Chain A
Amino acid sequence: MKFFETSHIFRYPWSHVSAANWRKYPNDNCPHVIAVDVLDRHVDPITGILRTERLITCQQNIPKWILSLCGGSTVSYAREISEIDPSNKVLRMTSYNLSMNHLVNISETVTYTEDPVDSSKTLFQQEARIKCGESISKFANYLEDFFIARFRDNAAKGRQGFENVLDRLLGQGEIA
């Protein structure tokens, strides 16, 4: 099993970041995300927490040696569940792969919270865990290394892409 962890401070208030989060895609930095769909969504009437279940469709170039090993496809799916607590200003999203999950489990949790020191900023934390199945134990280490490198690369691009989306939406006054 391999872990990945990173954090960042966005220079926008939490309300803007959480609104822009729904409009993160498409962005040029994440061409691998080709579709995003809401499967289910509700507001908990007692807590006021908004829960959303989404299906993320990705298309990525995967090396031939992995495809032949895993029999996977270049189109893959992930399920994401998010919870937004507007009174405490917390947005937490967890997602994991639905494709090739007999071979590898990739799960990610990101949280966006208001910066306790400066409410005009938002703290971002991202954690991922990558684990390959027993059936490919011989190759597990190589595969985990591949996926963690891919994840790290996408995470950095994704963060930059989201910065661009924030700049664009807020610059155009689409989120006020």
Chain B
Amino acid sequence: MSQSIGTNCNDLKIEYDKCFNKWYSEKFLKGDVRPECKELFEAYRACVLDAVKKKKIDKIISDARKDDPFPAAANSPSSPLEDINKHYHHE
């Protein structure tokens, strides 16, 4: 498994990647596209966002998103992207 930008996020990343890779091969590629591993992802992502802020690269990421937004999920009332941008801009 690859490393995380936050060394303290590596354990969370390993757990999430393991869950995702299993879901990808065993469910997603076989036609069951319902997402899984949500809790593991949220824990890992919170850690990454924190590391990104500490390294002061949150601004270059949010600037990149302004120019080229990450497409929001259809039918999703609150896109995860908005949550991240909120995180970047208001905290």
Listed in ascending order, the chain A residues whose CB lies under 8 Å from chain B are 15, 18-19, 22-23, 25-26, 33-48, 50-51, 53, 55, 57, 77, 79, 81, 86-87, 96, 98-99, 175-176
Listed in ascending order, the chain B residues whose CB lies under 8 Å from chain A are 1-5, 9, 13, 16-17, 20-21, 24-25, 28-29, 31, 33-35, 41, 44-45, 48-49, 52, 57, 60-61, 64, 68, 70-76, 80-81, 84
How many residue pairs at the A-B interface have CB separations less than 8 Å? 100
Whether A51 touches B52, Cβ cut-off 8 Å, given contacts A46-B75, A86-B29, A86-B33, is no
Whether A42 touches B31, Cβ cut-off 8 Å, given contacts A25-B2, A98-B57, A175-B25, is no
Q: Are A43 and B73 in contact (CB under 8 A)?
A: yes
Chain B residues whose CB sits within 8 angstroms of the CB of A35 once the complex forms = 2-5
Give Cα A24–Cα B68 distance, bound, in whole angstroms: 25
Give Cα A122–Cα B38 distance, bound, in whole angstroms: 30
Whether A55 touches B5, Cβ cut-off 8 Å, given contacts A43-B35, A99-B60, is yes
Among A37, A38, A43, A51, the one with the most B-chain Cβ atoms within 10 Å of its Cβ is A37
